[in-house]
Amino acid sequence: MEIRPILSTLRRHKTAASLIVLEIALSCGIVCNTLFLIGNRLSHMQRPSGVDEAHLVFVRANGISKDADAKAVTRADLDGLRAIPGVSSATTINQIPFGGSVWMSSIKLQPDQEASTLTTTNYMVAEDGLKTMGLKLLEGRDFNPSEYVDQNANEEANNYPSVILTRALAQRLFPSQSAIGRSIYVFGTQPHRVVGVIAHLPKPRDKGPESEYDMSMLFPARFSYADGGVYALQVADPAQRQAVLEQAKKLVASHGPTRIISKSTTGTQEEIRNKYYRNDRAMAWLLVAVAVALLVVTALGIVGLASFWVQQRTRQIGVRRALGATKAQILRYFQTENFLLATVGIVLGMVLAYAINQLLMGKYELPRLPLIYLPVGAVLLWLLGQLAVLWPARRAANIPPAIATRAA
């Protein structure tokens, strides 16, 4: 198709053409970044936790009054929980993934080191901790029975002889070498020997940089319910999680001293994770709504402009039809015209998308916009423009040739 007549027409309608170009550019810039933010938010929520989420159940009990023998009650609770039909194993842990509250400790590589190397979260697990949580060892071994220590809240530095690190933390502390057999110092000047490395275990409060998502360490410690210990249960059949959970809550509530079951830290791992990321899901849906609304407004703008131009050029179209132009040629004329406008708008929109991303990187520490989102946004707007102009173009193509013979 000859492009020159189209360009000549657009030069005579500079204001209208400029408005549609700016509208498409703005839509392209915002839509590209919105798609990126949605994708980033979804990938953020779907990162692996390393635990067996499909089989994990947690129960936490808060004592109403001080319990003089909380450790004995905790041992009895664990015996009862392990006897529930469908429970494969049970343990205690001081905090749970995506639970919100977080235990943090500083790590040193030398006992006399003044400044800590880094600060990260620490999990305290009792016997069967790795098995119950479903954590997979990449290197080394699990804790030996002799390494477990009864947590004493009155001691400033409990002596934990060994520690297990996540892969991310091990690589951060000991780059380009194995962490197995190395020592770190967390609680006082007693060394904690690294005996194992696991793939993943996220911080309970996922608010830090992406690189620190699963920098965690595990110590062999028996926490009583009175010291903040949470009961973790491995359920053989995921379909029985709710039934096991109800039995576990009744058992813990009715056993020992009067206790209250914590709602915020009791439930399946999947429920706790979904609750933790509910705001992220809401934000993702809000961004989807913004993107859809913007595309609808852009489409309506294209339809309105094309309809206006059809009305303004009714006789011109009729003359072309009288001179032999087919309906298909008239249809292609308007679609080509819109494609040219959309292309200019998309080029400007890509520049705008990059500028918006730079602003977001500076203000909110977001990563750089991947280049893949630019062609995705461009194709989306090209398709939208062709669909939006289709109805006015078809109406123009249906103008009868006789319209050119009507009196001025």
Provide the whole-model pTM. Answer: 0.80
- Name the least confident of 31-35, 44-48, 206-210, 272-276: 206-210
pLDDT at 82: 96
In this structure, is residue 274 part of a structural domain? no
pLDDT at 135: 96
Q: Please give the C-alpha separations between residue 374 and each of 17, 29, 354, 362, 380, in angstroms, as whole numbers.
A: 23, 9, 9, 20, 10
In this structure, is residue 386 part of a structural domain? yes
Q: Are residues 387 and 333 in the same domain?
A: yes
Q: What is the mean pLDDT of residues 320-328?
A: 76
In this structure, is residue 353 part of a structural domain? yes
User: Has residue 407 got a pLDDT over 50?
Assistant: no
Compute the mean pLDDT over every residue in the chain, rounded to the nearest whole number.
86
Conformation bin of residue 122: beta by default, left when phi > 0, alpha when psi is -120 to 50: beta
pLDDT at 395: 79
Length of the chain: 408
Domain boundary among 209, 239, 268: 268
* SS3 sequence of 287-341: HHHHHHHHHHHHHHHHHHHHHHHHHHCHHHHHHHHHCCCCHHHHHHHHHHHHHHH
pLDDT at 130: 96
Q: How confident is the model at residue 88 (pLDDT cuts 50, 70, 90)?
A: very high
Q: Are residues 104 and 216 in the same domain?
A: yes
More confident residue, 282 or 399: 282
Q: Which segment, 127-141, 318-332, 377-391, is predicted with the most confidence on average?
A: 127-141
What digits encode the pLDDT tens for the residues 243-266? Answer: 999 999 999 988 888 889 988 889
Q: Which domain holds residue 193?
A: 53-268
Q: Are residues 231 and 328 in the same domain?
A: no
Q: What is the mean pLDDT of residues 398-407?
A: 64
Q: Are residues 164 and 67 in the same domain?
A: yes
In this structure, is residue 322 part of a structural domain? yes
Domain boundary among 268, 293, 311: 268
pLDDT at 173: 95
Q: Which segment, 193-197, 223-227, 337-341, is predicted with the most confidence on average?
A: 193-197
The share of the chain scoring above pLDDT 90, in percent, equals 44
Helices 327-364 + 14-45 axis angle, to 10? 50
pLDDT at 285: 93
